[in-house]
Structure 1
Amino acid sequence: MALTGIQIMKLLPKKNCKECGFPTCLAFAMKVAAGQAEIDQCPYVDPKVKEEIAEATAPPIRTVVIGTSETPYKLGGETVLFRHEKKFENPPLIGTYLNTSMEDQEITRRIKAYQQLRWERVGNLLKPEVVCVRDEGNGERFITLIKRVREELPELAIVLDSRDIETVKQAIEACGGSIPLVYPGKVENLSSWGQMALEKKVPLVVSANYLGELVPLVEGLTKQGLKDLVLDSGALHPKELFEDLVIIRRAAIKKRFKPFGFPVITFMDRYTGDLSEQYLLASIFVAKYASIILVSDLKAELLFPLLVERFNLYSDPQKPLVVEEGIYPINGPDAFSPVVVTCNFALTYFIVSGEIEGSRVPCWLLVKDTDGLSVLTAWAAGKFNADNIAEFVKRSGIAEKIKHRTLVIPGYVASIKGELEEELGGWEVVIGPREANGLPTALKELAKKLRS
């Protein structure tokens, strides 16, 4: 059971030294209880007490870390069943396979796919992050593949899929500074694998034929001292997998059932050979409740919407999606290109920038910080009016990039045109369309005017 702030306070040294960053030990204890601070921030806590508090305040789904120290990936760490309750913490890793039976040409194609399939959205890079390297009876090639992944895709998390414990030991060494996830499948000598995972300090996947079979396996490994586990329920049908993942999450969070308090790995190619259907299933398990999702191949037209779904689900619903304030050049603008100003609400930015890109008119897009509010809301809140738009335009440096003094404002704030021209002094303010889909026509006409 989680400790309250008062209970944590009683275990602290009560120095009120402020070295933790909080004014009092009580304030610090309340933050630790709320999950907003780590007990490690206190330099004077007894190590045994620290371990006790860390265990008591840990999320019901254990956080398992794989990858490198430069690019760590956290699995699990979840505290809620539904995103609206708080937020989902660690997005599932998405990726595909490299098998020892594959031709070199196919392996090269897949590595290039990892390197090329990446998109930027609201300052975040959307990309696949995990690769499962499968040993199909060729240990030497297995090690060679891992070394190639580490060399050409150093930021990827690696799943080692092999039934040979000695080969896996060599593979772990080949991973260098990266912590892999070891997947031995349904092996009989699981305790030997647990001992190896303990010695090598790597997390281990526990697989079973059905959900109930997982419990004694997990309990046996935790008694050995292994804490970093990932579950594979062994479900043979998508409906069964869906039910298993809901049961695991609900039992861990609602009942604090420790054998199910771990991240889950899923394999979409188990259920269908059709790639489109695999991605369709993956879209379900992004929400319910996979920590790693593996598909049989990476295709841009299928991967991108899945990554966008994941991004949207794992963003904090209590915080608006925003883009950074600044100047965004679109379509290669020059000194005579139109200048458009808008707010930093992410949806507004994507709609406006998308219409500008589609128009093929080179433009300067000025994005003003409005605390993530849309145009009308920001105007009503006093965050997108003549005074602060003028101040932003002056300090943005856009005047140094252009040879005209024309600014396009959203049609919804047409009423500020006169006041904004007074504040800017020497600038002409053009009222843009009320809806973004009117931008292409308006910008084409303005671009001709500015160059005439």
Structure 2
Amino acid sequence: MYRHEKTFYNKTGIFLRVKANDPDLKKKVSEANAYKVNYVGMEFSLDGFAVEADGDLASAVKQIRSISKLPLIIIGTDPVVLEAALSTITDEQTLIYAADASNSEALAGIAKKYKASLVCKAETLEALADLTQKLQAVGVDDLVLDLGGKNMAEWLTLATQTRRLAIKNNYRPLGFPTIFFAGQVGPEKEAVYAAQAISKYTGFLVLDTFAPEMIYALLVLRENIYTDPQKPIQVQPGIYEINSPKPESPVLITTNFSITYFSVANEVESSGLPAWLVVTDAEGMSVLTAWAAGKFDAERIAKAIKGFDVANKVSRKRIVLPGHVAVLSGELEEELSGWEIRVGPREAVDLPAFMKQALN
């Protein structure tokens, strides 16, 4: 599969592992549940929690449910403990971790009773395939695979093998999502392991560490992998107010490519300088790309200025073009009679200095 031709679907779910006997369980869950971050107009957050049964699992599940409605993975080996926890959340689908050769029959019965999904694990891929077939034979079809692996290279080999067997050879016993625990080698390598897991087929990623800086990077990585490569991330064309602009504030022009928009908007906003930002419809392309493709020209800019009724919002008709398309200034003067056309800097980072020195 070529990244520039195809789109990946079914994003990796990112879960945070907590422990049932943790005295700070509620605090940790509350902090993680509240975590939200904005990236080029999209809001990211964690996808759920994985709670480990090293204490009263049922009580821990109730505590989590009093704070968060995010999906749960319950981790344990005792069927009685797992069933007690599941009985507190009968109206939702939960993922049980994990069935092996020793407990598969008991956990299969619980999974069927509570309509839960079930993780399978075994020492080898052959044994894992036998286990999934055994579980399917008793009516448990919603399965997830724990491939094991002692290190990153071994896990990657197993992940690649199962994916190829399932897709290329149509080997259905291994054609299920996988789960990976990124903290298995300690916090110092957790981000590296997690990044590889997202990049290489993991369906469920479980983190041990709630570090906003790490989670943000992983969420952005996931979004970049699962974004349609032929459809850039866009913002809505329109006129945006930055720092409460006044009628005499300048009008800045850019395209609706999200990274371009947020680069410009963030630089101006952080400077504290007021401005009107007109975002033209360039089909999600950056300034130079759109100009080269004929999607960002004087006619389109003039159409946006008129369509968004900018003239009635300002007292001083002054437009700042991106420096990369200075060539459009003459044509734009013809399209917008009575407007002063200024050529701004090439890079967004230079906008605040330009606005202070050239527009006052």
Note if 1:410 corresponds to 2:322: yes
Question: Structure 1 residues 404, 185: CA separation in 2 closer, same or farther (over 3 Å shift)?
Answer: farther
Aligned partners of 2:96 and 2:266: how far apart in 1?
42
Which of 100, 105, 119 lines up with 2:37 in the alignment?
Answer: 119
Q: CA deviation at 1:349?
A: 2.4
Question: Structure 1 residues 151, 344: CA separation in 2 closer, same or farther (over 3 Å shift)?
Answer: same
Structure 1 stretch displaced more, 227-236 or 385-394: 385-394
Q: Which residue of 2 aligns with 1:161?
A: 75
Equivalent runs, 1:4-19 vs 2, <5 Å: none
**Aligned partners of 2:58 and 2:86 also within 8 Å:** no
Aligned partners of 1:334 and 1:108: how far apart in 2?
44
Equivalent runs, 1:29-428 vs 2, <5 Å: 83-84=3-4, 86-104=6-24, 106-116=25-35, 118-138=36-56, 142-154=57-69, 156-175=70-89, 177-186=91-100, 188-270=102-184, 272-273=185-186, 275-399=187-311, 401-428=313-340
Aligned partners of 1:241 and 1:228: how far apart in 2?
22
Aligned partners of 1:161 and 1:172: how far apart in 2?
11
Q: CA deviation at 1:426?
A: 3.4
Aligned partners of 1:369 and 1:433: how far apart in 2?
21
Aligned partners of 1:400 and 1:322: how far apart in 2?
26
Letter in 2 for 1:196: I
Aligned partners of 2:228 and 2:219: how far apart in 1?
16
Q: CA deviation at 1:412?
A: 2.4
SS of equivalent to 2:252: strand
Question: Structure 1 residues 164, 158: CA separation in 2 closer, same or farther (over 3 Å shift)?
Answer: same
**Aligned partners of 2:41 and 2:258 also within 8 Å:** no
Structure 1: give runs of 5+ residues left out of the alignment: 1-79
Letter in 2 for 1:404: R
Identity %: 36
Aligned partners of 1:336 and 1:170: how far apart in 2?
66
SS of equivalent to 1:377: helix
**Aligned partners of 2:18 and 2:208 also within 8 Å:** no
Aligned partners of 2:249 and 2:29: how far apart in 1?
40
SS of equivalent to 2:233: coil
> TM-score, normalized by length of structure 1?
0.73
**Aligned partners of 1:276 and 1:302 also within 8 Å:** no
Question: Structure 1 residues 424, 151: CA separation in 2 closer, same or farther (over 3 Å shift)?
Answer: farther
Q: What are the Cα deviations for residues 357-385 of structure 1, in whole angstroms up to 9, with x where unaligned?
A: 45343333222111122223323443222
**Aligned partners of 2:234 and 2:258 also within 8 Å:** yes
Question: Structure 1 residues 334, 232: CA separation in 2 closer, same or farther (over 3 Å shift)?
Answer: farther
**Aligned partners of 2:256 and 2:279 also within 8 Å:** yes
Aligned partners of 1:213 and 1:362: how far apart in 2?
65
**Aligned partners of 1:320 and 1:372 also within 8 Å:** yes
Q: How well do the aligned residues superpose, as a CA RMSD in angstroms?
A: 2.4
Q: What are the Cα deviations for residues 176-232 of structure 1, in whole angstroms up to 9, with x where unaligned?
A: 543211113546130221132223222111112333321110110111122210000
SS of equivalent to 2:295: coil
Q: CA deviation at 1:402?
A: 4.2
**Aligned partners of 1:338 and 1:446 also within 8 Å:** no
Q: What are the Cα deviations for residues 98-125 of structure 1, in whole angstroms up to 9, with x where unaligned?
A: 2111113x53134213313x22223322
**Aligned partners of 2:119 and 2:146 also within 8 Å:** yes
**Aligned partners of 1:165 and 1:193 also within 8 Å:** yes
SS of equivalent to 1:184: strand
> TM-score, normalized by length of structure 2?
0.91
- Name segments (4+ residues, structure 1) moved above 6 Å: none
SS of equivalent to 1:266: strand
SS of equivalent to 2:16: strand
**Aligned partners of 1:161 and 1:185 also within 8 Å:** no
Question: Structure 1 residues 177, 363: CA separation in 2 closer, same or farther (over 3 Å shift)?
Answer: farther
SS of equivalent to 1:131: strand
Aligned partners of 1:84 and 1:247: how far apart in 2?
23
Q: CA deviation at 1:267?
A: 0.6
SS of equivalent to 1:309: helix
**Aligned partners of 1:100 and 1:145 also within 8 Å:** yes
Aligned residues: 360
Aligned partners of 1:223 and 1:185: how far apart in 2?
15
